[in-house]
Each structure stands twice: as structure tokens, then as C-alpha cells.
Amino acid sequence: MSENNITKSSILDVERVDKRFGAHHAVRDVSVRVRAGEFLTLLGPSGCGKTTLLRMIAGFETPSEGEIRIAGRRMNEAPPYERPIGIVFQNLALFPHLSVGENLAYGLRVRRMAREDIRRQVAEALGLVDLAGLEERRVHELSGGQRQRVALARALVIRPKVLLLDEPLGALDLKLRRQLQQELKRIQQRVGTTFVFVTHDQEEALTMSDRIAVMQGGQVEQLGTPEEVYARPRTPFVAQFVGDTNFLTGSVAGTGPNEMQVRLDRLERVIAVPSPAGHQLPEGTRIGLSVRPEHLVMAGAQERLALTVEGRVVERSYIGASTRYALEAAGESYVAVTADSGTGVPALQPGQPVSFGWAPESAVVVPLDAADLSVQEQMEAMPAGTTPEGPADPGMAALRGY
């Protein structure tokens, strides 16, 4: 594909990409089109293939099959320093013997930019990340948050078409991480650069992304907006991995124009739920129901419920703006989250009996497959001693041009 033929809406194309490390199949037939100016997050547990995919986009790994294009140009064989990308590594990979300004200027000098242009672009990049005037500081004199900003500024100063970020906030404390999440999104919107962000943190992905590619087993299980991934999961893995959920299994007992009857396994009840959009599931089809904790309604509420379950409180956790309850009924575990004001429901205590349920529209139908495993089972199934994400982070020599 020539650069003239690429659509204006696409800047990065990953087309049917595979990656094998010996007998291990790390990435399987992944196709993703990333829009220009988009914040796309690759989300999944350790070993799902997200970092391997990022490394192939960066040029540190070569696809076993498939093609990667940036701005319409095939990049499979191009080394990292010849790709129109910036990179922020998990370990930041800053040059400790150079000042902040020299760290930023390094990639521009490699590109043989004029001295005055280098000075101007370095100053602009530091201003963008709120570090103006710190050009002469040494890296060891900076706080953890400031070092993160320097790494981001160094990646942006070369004005890449795509910025790749490999869990750059993972080593920070919770408060600073949340602060930098907001700043990172603000900066991305301001500069308009396409960001491809890798994380295993679901909340981080939901907070920052325009779209999320949820990965497991080397494949993309679902690609969509944060709202789509959270509220309308398409697979059991996505339902259970992205946030908490109450996941019940059952089978289709009957169908109508807009709803279906579902026979739940453990509760031995038949309930009516809305039919999944675009799906006509035949009777007997095995399905799962995903009900988010905030949609589980405790006793005393007046909403129309699909069913009411009698159980007991196992655990209560106060978390500030809300309270999290672990519940048990008919041998099944449930999670409920209630707001601490305006519910009219007094706090429940462990051991106390409780009635709870959910409205029909709160249950999302997820087709099951015989090969599907729960999140925990999939994590535990990874062969011992494998390194599914590929070799360790590249050394400083790989940073030529950054």
C-alpha cells in the first residue's frame, strides 16, 4: 500500500500478525487498525501477548507472519530508529549521565537537526510536560513523576506519528499514577499524536483510552470503546477480566422477539433477559450472564427485578464513596457495590441474611464456548518456564534515534 492510498483515518495497521518463540505462539492472527490521533490501549494479563505486539510495532521483534504498516509504509524489516515512532519504556531508559535537556536533544542530534531548532523543540517539549526550566537538571535529581515526564517529553520531541508506551506508570504509587493518567491523556489530546498504550490495569485502561483491545492467549478478544468493553463484553474472559462481575452460567430455554428465557445452572431458575443485539441463539445454547456489581440490587429497593435471590453477607468492605459486599447464595459467590448515600438501605454485616437481585436489562448475555476458561484458569494454564512476552526490554544500544 502506498502512502498516498492510505485512508486519513488510519495511521497504524496491524494485519494478521503472528509471532512465535520456538514452540510458543505469543501472538495469533492479530489485526488492528489504529486511527490517527487515537489513544488505543492493549489490555490484558501477563503473558497475553500485548508487550510482544508492541515490540513488533516498535521494531524490536519481527513478525513471524503478517504485516505492520505505519502511515501506509510496510515496517516489518525496518529497525526501530527508522520508524516514525516514539517509545516510553517501563523502565524509562533515560540516560543517567546526561542532563534533562541533553536527554531530549539526543534523538534530534541523531537526526542532524540545527542547534537552534533543537533548543526550541526541547524547550517546547519540556513546557508541554510542565518541566520548563529544568534543562540543566540531572536525572537523579528528579522525582519519579518528573522522570516519567522527561521520558514522555523525549519520546514526543522527535514528533513521532505513533507513540508507544509500555506500562510507563506501573512503578508509581496510586495517587501519582492517577495524576499522571490525567496528564498523559491531556497531553495526548493537545498534541494529537496517536498513542498505543500497554497495561494490565483495567481501571487505567478504562480511564484513559478512546478504544481498548482486550488481549488473551495472543489474540484480541474484544476491541471497542471503554463503555462497550465494560458494559457489553463479548466473551467470558472480557466480562471477568475488565472489572468485577457476577458471572452465571446457564442455557437458553426459549426465545422471543426481544427477550430470551435463560435457565440458570446453580439457581435452577428460569429468568427473562433481553436478547443480545444481532443474535438469535437456539434453545439449548450454553450462555453466560454478566451482571456488574453496581447493578446488583440489595433488599429494600423497589426496582423491577429479573429474580430475587436469598443469601447471606460474607464480607463487607467500606471503600469511601461506596461499600463492597461479598455475598453467597446456593453455593455461588456474588459481589455487590452500593453507594453510601441516598439508597435508604442500612449497612449490612457479615453473616446477615439478605435478599438481592438485578433488573432484566442489567444482565448481559455472553455466548459460551466449550474451550472457554475463567480468567484465573487461563492464567494458571500458562506453561511453567515460558517467556510469552519475548526477550527482556532492549538495551540502551537499541535506543538510537530516541
Range scoring the smallest mean pLDDT among 354-358, 368-372, 380-384: 380-384
The one-letter amino acid code at 365 reads V
pLDDT number for residue 183: 87
pLDDT number for residue 2: 37
Only one residue has cell 542547534, namely: 115
Q: Minimal CA–CA distance to 298: which of 243, 255, 355?
A: 355
Residue 3 burial by Cβ neighbours in a 10 Å radius (0-12, 13-18, 19+):
exposed
pLDDT number for residue 305: 77
CATH number listed for the domain at residues 234-381: 2.40.50.100
Range scoring the smallest mean pLDDT among 73-77, 84-88, 167-171, 296-300: 296-300
Rounded to whole angstroms, how far apart are CA atoms 235 and 287? 10
pLDDT number for residue 361: 87
For residue range 257-277, list pLDDT tens digits in order.
788 899 999 888 899 888 876
Rounded to whole angstroms, how far apart are CA atoms 123 and 97? 20
As assigned by CATH, the class of the 10-230 domain is alpha beta
pLDDT number for residue 344: 53
For residue 394, pLDDT beyond 80: no
For residue range 124-156, list pLDDT tens digits in order.
999 988 899 899 999 888 888 888 889 899 999
SS (H, E, C) the chain: CCHHHCCCCEEEEEEEEEEEECCEEEEEEEEEEEECCCEEEEECCCCCCHHHHHHHHHCCCCCCEEEEEECCEECCCCCHHHCCEEEECCCCCCCCCCEHHHHHHHHHHHCCCCHHHHHHHHHHHHHHCCCCCCCCCEHHHCCHHHHHHHHHHHHHCCCCCEEEEECCCCCCCHHHHHHHHHHHHHHHHHHCCEEEEEECCHHHHHHHCCEEEEEECCEEEEEECHHHHHHCCCCHHHHHHCCCCEEEEEEEEEECCCEEEEEECCCCCEEEEECCCCCCCCCCCEEEEEECHHHCEECCCCCCCCEEEEEEEEEEEECCCEEEEEEEECCEEEEEEEECCCCCCCCCCCCCEEEEEECHHHCEEEECCCCCCCHHHHHHCCCCCCCCCCCCCCCHHHHCCC
Cell of 367: 455466548
Cell of 102: 541533553
Residue 42 near residue 202 (C-beta atoms within 8 A): no
For residue 387, pLDDT beyond 70: no
Residue 95: pLDDT band (50, 70, 90) is: confident
For residue range 42-70, list pLDDT tens digits in order.
999 999 999 999 999 999 999 999 999 99
pLDDT number for residue 107: 85
Kindly list the domain boundaries of the chain, sorted by start residue: 10-230, 234-381
287 CB-near residues (< 8 Å, 6+ apart) = 249, 250, 251, 252, 262, 281, 365, 366, 367, 368
Q: What is the pairing mode between strands 194-199 and 39-43? A: parallel
pLDDT number for residue 9: 75
Is 10-230's fold the same as 234-381's? no
Q: What is the pairing mode between strands 24-35 and 73-74? A: unpaired
Cα 279 to its chain centre, rounded Å, is: 26
Residue 19 near residue 52 (C-beta atoms within 8 A): yes
Q: What is the pairing mode between strands 307-318 and 297-298? A: unpaired
For residue range 192-251, list pLDDT tens digits in order.
999 999 999 999 999 999 999 999 999 999 999 999 999 999 999 999 999 999 999 999
Question: Distances in Å between the alpha carbon of 144 and those of 57, 168, 177, 184, 209?
Answer: 27, 11, 10, 15, 23
186 CB-near residues (< 8 Å, 6+ apart) = none
For residue 256, pLDDT beyond 50: yes
Mean pLDDT of 169-173: 78
For residue 21, pLDDT beyond 90: yes
Rounded to whole angstroms, how far apart are CA atoms 90 and 273? 44
Rounded to whole angstroms, how far apart are CA atoms 225 and 231? 10
Residue 337: pLDDT band (50, 70, 90) is: very high
Residue 158 near residue 107 (C-beta atoms within 8 A): yes
pLDDT number for residue 388: 40
For residue 299, pLDDT beyond 70: no
For residue 312, pLDDT beyond 60: yes
Rounded to whole angstroms, how far apart are CA atoms 372 and 366? 11
